Amino acid sequence: MGKKKLMKGNEALAEAMIRAGCDAYFGYPITPQSEVIEYLSREATNRTGMVVLQAESEVAAINMIYGSAACGRRVMTTSSSPGISLMQEGLSYIAAAELPCLVANINRGGPGLGTIQPSQGDYFQATKGGGHGDYHLIVLAPSSVQEMVDYTLLGFELSEKYRCPTMLLADGAIGQMMEKVELYDQMPRKTEFPDWATTGKPKNSDRRIITSLFIQPEKMEQINLGLQRKYREIEKNEVRFQTINTDDAEYIFTGFGLGARICTKAMESGRAKGYKIGVIRPQTLYPFPVDIYSELSKKVKGILDVEMNAGQMVDDVRLAVKGNTRVEFYGRMGGIIPTPDEILENFEKIFLK
Amino acid sequence: MADEDKDFLFSDICVEENLVYRKPGTLTETELHYCPGCGHGVAHKLLMEVVDEMGIQNETIGVAPVGCSVFAYHYLNVDMQEAAHGRACAVATGVKRVQPDKYVFTYQGDGDLAAIGTAETIHAANRGENFLIVFINNGVYGMTSGQMAPTTLPGMITTTSPFGSDTKTQGHPLKISNLVASLPGVAYVTRQSVHKPANVRKAKKAFQKAFEYQKKGLGTCLVEIVSSCPSNWKLTPLESNKFLEDKMIPYYPLGDLKVPEGK
């Protein structure tokens, strides 16, 4: 590991991408994540020969990702909410064709053109598929600049292990804020590619076909069953979460990404006032850490879910809790970040009064 | 039995020096699904003959479109990717940028290339992406059974222009090859047909040139094939050839629209 540096989230993400031996980045500028393509344009090609291309649209960018991922390369794109919406068609094709790639959504407030301020309004879109058909992305939720770096490498590895497109769901605040970060050393770019990759038909074996078209329903059902088997494997193997002070907790605060950090601060203030509060922070949003909620739901008096949206992850929390305990929601929308005091105040109002 | 009385044996005739035609190994044994009189079969064959003759089967990656040739990868015996509708040029950009020394082509119809994929086509060409775009223009949406295309001729009857395509409300036929030819990064644009033997020979020559230019890294090449769709034109293959000559080619004249400097 290298020495610690002070870096902006988006730039740390770009640096992490280069160091992870990424072969190509295709993207289109959009606030609040344009620093990613700017940083890569300055740094990447000279250092590793990585391809960096500003596409004509997010639609084109995600299809360039499709083409290059299908050649077995380590590839990534980044965008923010409206741009991610434009990529949904491509992501559905990528999921169906089982191509590995990494996509970061630096979530801003919506719907529509919305605002350039941070939001978590794209949870549903990220975790429930997003485009057409039955599929999932693996979704990682960084809550710090350090995790932007760590999850970039993890995201590449998971996407390649399962041939499943993977998303970093961050938000405008994590993208824009500066924090201390430790970077991994430069990794070499790949020189050998998987045998499914379209690198030119091998002389003594069949050509490779990358497609999501299976016109016979029986075949299409088999493809779907295969995808579902893969998702069950991912759900079994790749759940990641963090718990803080849950051992003696009577109440749980939960949230993801930036929301989880604010929850943690609110928990600390609550503890100072004598409330036994713990925190559950899912690090993977898909697969969702169902078991930890289920387990703790039998021990606590209530769960407060805090998000920067109208209440999206709370649906998954309620499904996991299965009515074992009271689950309430507090959120702000439109680019507003709730304060720890505000969360604690609402906790007292909802659960203690 | 004296030698002169012996019947000709099949194995005596089928020897290399008597060979006049062989299906190239770059085409699979799969039977084509295209309708009688459709140009796709000939275009597939010419493209793959060139790949075969240049010995680049193991270095070529093709991108199939959405449209009648969506299953092109069933027939073209090279590594293939199936793109989303209209996105072939973006997909090919991804393929070529990470494998600049491989040969890359897209194979697209008029709806794919000139309607839903216009942005991807124009911008790939404007970046001078060093691959071949094969463009089959038959003025109609074949796969979805006969709707209007961006290249449908004025007055032409389709299922979505049942009274004849009206330029006042439905637009003019788009000469996208001319648009592409106007871009500086583009090396070679030509419009050909495959409805007569002489045209077939010229079309093959065009594919050969396009791959040669790609090898030299000259930039985007586009070969348009003005083609027939008897099924959706509601004509016989022969009538379709006449329609092609009388109506299509006068609007889409054959020949080179752009050639590399000094060629």
What are the pLDDT digits (tens) for A197-225? Answer: 999 999 999 999 999 999 999 999 999 99
| Nearest-CA distance B63 → chain A (Å) | 9
Facing A66 at nearest CB: one of B71, B79, B94: B94
CATH number of residue B217's parent domain: 3.40.50.970
When pLDDT is cut at 50, 70 and 90, the band that residue B73 belongs to is: very high
Burial of A225 (0-12, 13-18, 19+ CB in 10 A): exposed
Could A67 and B93 be called an inter-chain contact, meaning their C-beta atoms sit closer than 8 Å? yes
In chain B, which residue's Cα lies nearest the Cα of A90?
A: B84
The pLDDT, as a whole number, for residue B9 is: 76
Closest CA in chain A for residue B72:
A209
Question: Between chains, do B79 and A198 touch, taking CB under 8 Å as contact?
Answer: yes
| Alpha-carbon dihedral angle through residues A105, A106, A110, A115, given to the nearest 10 degrees | -150
**Which CATH topology does A241-352 take?**
Rossmann fold (3.40.50)
When the pLDDT of each residue in chain A is averaged and rounded to a whole number, the result is 97
**Residues of chain B with C-beta less than 8 angstroms from the C-beta of A67:** 63, 81, 83, 90-95
What is the reported pLDDT for B1? Answer: 47
Interface of chain B toward chain A, CB-CB under 8 angstroms: 57-61, 63-64, 70-71, 73, 77-84, 87, 90-95, 97-99, 102, 119-120, 123
What was the pLDDT predicted at B5?
A: 54
Q: Which residues of chain B have a CB within 8 Å of the CB of A207? A: 77-80
Residues of A in contact with B64 (CB under 8 A): 211
Which residue type sits at B113? L
Q: Which residues, including other chains, have CB under 8 Å from residue B251's CB and lie 6 or more apart?
A: B153, B173
Q: How far apart are CA B116 and CA B154, in angstroms?
A: 20
Is there a domain that residue B184 lies in? yes
- What's the token pair of residue A176? 């824009």
Question: Nearest residue on chain A to B27, judged by CA atoms?
Answer: A207
- A interface with B, Cβ–Cβ below 8 Å: 23-24, 26, 51, 53, 55-57, 59-61, 63-71, 73, 75, 89-90, 93, 97, 198-203, 207-213
Same fold, A4-191+228-235 and A241-352: yes
Neighbours of A296 (CB within 10 A): 21
Name the residue in chain A with its Cα closest to that of B96: A68
DSSP string, B133-199: EEEEE-SEETTTTSEE-TTPPTT--BTTBTT---HHHH-PPP-HHHHHHTSTTEEEEEEEE-SSHHH
Q: How many angstroms away from the CA of A1 is the closest CA of chain B? A: 28
Find the mean pLDDT for residues B182-189. Answer: 97
**How far is A283 from A147, CA to CA, in rounded Å?**
10
Average pLDDT of chain B to the nearest whole number = 95
Contact B58 A89 (CB under 8 A): no
User: Strand A277-282 vs strand A241-244: parallel, antiparallel, or unpaired?
Assistant: antiparallel
Q: Nearest residue on chain A to B71, judged by CA atoms?
A: A213
Name residue B200's amino acid. V
Helix (H) or strand (E) holding A170: strand A166-171
Nearest to A89 among B58, B84, B93 (CB): B84
Residues whose CB is less than 8 angstroms from the CB of residue B13 and which lie 6 or more positions away in sequence, other chains included? none
Judge contact between B60 and B51, C-beta under 8 A.
yes
Best of B28, B59, B61 to substitute, by most chain A Cβ atoms within 10 angstroms, is B61
Binned at pLDDT 50, 70 and 90, residue B7 comes out as low
Cβ within 8 Å, pair B78-A201:
yes
Closest by Cβ to B82, choosing from A199, A200, A210: A210
Interface test with B, best of A26, A54, A201, A204 (most B CBs within 10 A): A201
CA gap A344, A166 in Å, rounded: 34
Nearest chain A residue to B56 by CA distance is A200
What is the β-pairing status of strands A4-8 and A178-182? Answer: antiparallel
Task: State whether A67 and B63 contact (CB < 8 Å).
Answer: yes
Mean pLDDT calculated for residue range A167-191:
97
Alpha carbon of A196: minimum distance to chain B alpha carbons (Å) = 10
Q: Is pLDDT above 90 for B136? A: yes
- The reported pLDDT for the residue numbered B13 is 81
Q: Measure the CA angle with vertex B89, ends B254 and B97; round to 5°.
A: 125
Q: How far is A11 from chain B (nearest CA, A)?
A: 23
Residue B222 domain-assigned (yes or no): yes
Q: How is residue A108 annotated by DSSP?
A: B
B97 interaction partners in chain A (CB closer than 8 Å): 24, 51, 53, 64, 68
CATH classification code of A4-191+228-235: 3.40.50.970
Read off the pLDDT of each residue in A183-196 and give the average, rounded to a whole number. Answer: 97
**Is B64 within the bounds of a domain?**
yes
Of A56, A61, A68, the CB nearest to B95: A68
The answer to whether position B143 is within a domain reads: yes
Residues of A in contact with B183 (CB under 8 A): none
pLDDT tens-digit series, residues B60-71: 999 999 999 999
> Considering the domain boundaries, does residue B105 fall inside one?
yes
Q: Mean per-residue pLDDT for B172-198?
A: 98
Q: Quick one: pLDDT at residue B2?
A: 53
Provide the ipTM: 0.96
Is the pLDDT at A297 greater than 60? The verdict is: yes
pLDDT of the residue at B18 = 87
Q: Are A153 and A20 in contact (CB under 8 A)?
A: yes
Compare CB distances from B81 to A53, A60, A70 and report the shortest one's residue. Answer: A70
Let me know: does B196 contact B245? Beta carbons within 8 Å. no
User: Do strands B220-226 and B132-137 pair parallel, antiparallel, or not at all (unpaired)?
Assistant: parallel
Rounded to the nearest angstrom, the minimum Cα separation between A190 and chain B is 12
Query: Shortest Cα distance from A182 to chain B (angstroms)?
Result: 29
Percent above pLDDT 70 for chain A: 99
Cα separation, A51 vs A44, whole angstroms:
8
* Report field, pTM of the whole predicted structure over 0.90: yes
Helix (H) or strand (E) holding B222: strand B220-226
pLDDT digits (tens, 9 = 90+) for B200-250: 999 999 999 999 999 999 999 999 999 999 999 999 999 999 999 999 999
Greatest C-alpha distance within chain A:
75
The reply to whether B72 falls in a domain is yes
Q: What are phi and psi of B160, to 5 degrees?
A: -110, 5
Q: Is the pLDDT of residue A1 over 60?
A: no
Q: What is the pLDDT of residues A128-155, one digit of tens each?
A: 999 999 999 999 999 999 999 999 999 9
- Where residue B10 falls among pLDDT bands split at 50, 70, 90? confident
What are the structural domain ranges in chain A? 4-191+228-235, 241-352
DSSP letters spanning A274-297:
T--EEEEEESEEES--HHHHHHHH
Residue B62 falls inside a structural domain: yes
Nearest beta carbon to residue B81 from set A67, A201, A203: A67
